[in-house]
């Protein structure tokens, strides 16, 4: 396989970070040369454990996701009968919980838990990045931050899905779609927290905003809270859940949120640059892949054919 | 090629899928509410 310039740079950086010895370096380069140019031949033929092969998310990230999604679901369930509190179905629901005021208290408690998860997340990625910077192993391309390559990946992936390209682009740990989703969720959470805070602390907002703006701001926040919630609900149900439950290769469920691991075929298909790092850091993966390549006769470009 | 899921893994995976589909139905209901009741 002929690696792109970016993939070559990722590979060289991984070798440096892992302090690879010359023998291992030779082994890695030989393995890369043996790999088929058509990467789909790899991800269609490798063995994968459906609950995950490679480490991807720490326990902290998994706890944050768990907190965010449970509070999100419950916030939606309690927010709806608060917003439509006069509806025929909302009144028995609120009565079941102890009255509208109790539903509100539950909703606010859940909101505080969600905010805690967000703060926990900022600490995790902040300290994690600092630790990598200090160890000189930080790579911008490996983070969730958007880079120019994402635009090119998006274009190349669109070409692939429209049948004008044979392989998907070589993407990093987080692909363009995940970055869009992450920042959309971040924006949505910010809107919900800001608008929710104006319901809880109207005097505070009135005291810091100019008098001419305060009531307009309050009205804007009152409109945006339920509508942003609805937008988030749509994004989660029709985008996120499609990608992690229904998309080909993920059905019936992607296990990463529980195990913190990603399957081998998924890593090679959508996060090939991260897979290159696995090849460098995991000798057992090199042995597995070499054995697989040598046992397959269908790959026309291989020296064994 | 993925290995087969164990029974408890299948129960968990398909259970989660059923849950999110049910929740999607709830989302559609919420949309209908917003469109009809504002």
Chain A contact set for B1 (CB, 8 A): 45-48, 265
Q: Which two tokens stand for residue A153?
A: 């990946």
A201 φ/ψ angles, rounded to the nearest 5 degrees: -125, 60
Tell me the percentage of chain A whose pLDDT exceeds 90. 85
Q: Render pLDDT for A182-237 as a digit per residue (tens, 0 to 9).
A: 999 999 999 999 999 999 999 999 999 998 999 999 999 999 999 999 899 888 98
pLDDT band at B23 (very low <50, low <70, confident <90, very high): confident
Q: Which pLDDT score, from 0 to 100, does residue A169 have?
A: 95
pLDDT at A10 over 50: yes
Position with higher pLDDT, A89 vs A221? A221
Q: Which pLDDT score, from 0 to 100, does residue B36 have?
A: 83
Count CB-CB contacts under 10 A for residue A255: 21
Chain B contact set for A43 (CB, 8 A): none
| SS3 at position B29 | helix
* Run of H or E residues at A261: strand A261-262
Please indicate whether, in this complex, the C-beta atoms of A230 and B30 are within 8 angstroms of each other. Answer: yes
Q: What is the mean pLDDT of residues B2-29?
A: 90
Angle at CA A202, nearest 5°, toward A196 and A206? 125
Q: What is the CA radius of gyration of chain A?
A: 24
DSSP string across A125-162: HHHHHHHHHHTT---GGGSSS--HHHHHHHHHHHHHHT
How many angstroms away from the CA of A233 is the closest CA of chain B?
6
Count Cβ neighbours within 10 Å for each residue of A199-236 and write b for 16 or more, e otherwise: beeeeebeeeeeeeebeebbeebeebbbebbbebbeeb
Q: Which pLDDT score, from 0 to 100, does residue B30 have?
A: 79
Q: What is the CA radius of gyration of chain B?
A: 16
B10 in reach of chain A (CB within 8 A):
yes
Q: Which pLDDT score, from 0 to 100, does residue A299 have?
A: 59
Chain A contact set for B17 (CB, 8 A): 245-246, 251-253
B9 in reach of chain A (CB within 8 A):
yes
Q: Which two tokens stand for residue A93?
A: 């629901």
Q: What is the mean pLDDT of residues A153-182?
A: 95
> Which pTM value belongs to this model?
0.90
Q: Measuring CA to CA, how many Å separate A19 from each of A28, A35, A135, A143?
A: 13, 23, 13, 22
């Amino acid at each position: 396989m002929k690696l792109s310039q970016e993939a070559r740079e990722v590979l060289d950086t991984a070798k440096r970070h892992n302090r690879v010895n010359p023998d291992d370096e030779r082994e890695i380069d030989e393995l890369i040369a043996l790999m088929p140019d058509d990467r789909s031949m790899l991800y269609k033929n490798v063995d994968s454990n459906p609950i995950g092969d490679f480490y991807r998310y720490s326990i902290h990230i998994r706890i944050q996701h768990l907190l965010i999604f449970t509070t999100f679901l419950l916030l939606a369930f309690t927010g709806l009968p608060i917003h439509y509190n006069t509806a025929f179905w909302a009144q028995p629901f609120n009565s079941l919980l102890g009255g509208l005021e109790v539903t509100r208290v539950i909703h606010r408690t859940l909101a505080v838990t969600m905010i805690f998860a967000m703060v926990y997340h900022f600490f995790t990625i902040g300290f994690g990045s600092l630790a990598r910077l200090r160890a000189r192993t930080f790579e911008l391309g490996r983070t969730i931050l958007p880079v120019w390559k994402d635009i090119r990946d998006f274009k190349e992936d669109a070409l692939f899905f429209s049948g004008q390209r044979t392989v998907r682009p070589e993407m990093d740990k987080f692909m363009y779609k995940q970055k869009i989703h992450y920042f959309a969720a971040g924006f949505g959470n910010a809107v919900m927290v800001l608008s929710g805070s104006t319901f809880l602390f109207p005097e505070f907002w009135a005291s810091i905003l100019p008098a001419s703006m305060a009531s307009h701001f309050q009205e804007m926040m009152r409109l945006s809270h339920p509508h942003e919630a609805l937008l988030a609900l749509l994004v989660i149900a029709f985008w996120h859940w499609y990608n992690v439950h229904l998309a080909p290769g993920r059905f019936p469920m992607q296990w990463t949120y529980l195990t913190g691991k990603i399957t081998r075929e998924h890593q090679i298909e959508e996060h090939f640059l991260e897979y290159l790092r696995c090849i460098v850091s995991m000798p057992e993966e090199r042995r597995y892949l070499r054995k697989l390549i040598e046992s397959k006769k269908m790959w026309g470009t291989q020296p064994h054919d | 090629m993925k290995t087969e899921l164990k029974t408890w893994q299948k129960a968990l995976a398909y259970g989660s899928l059923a849950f999110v589909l049910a929740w999607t139905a709830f989302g559609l209901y919420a949309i209908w509410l917003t469109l009809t009741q504002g």
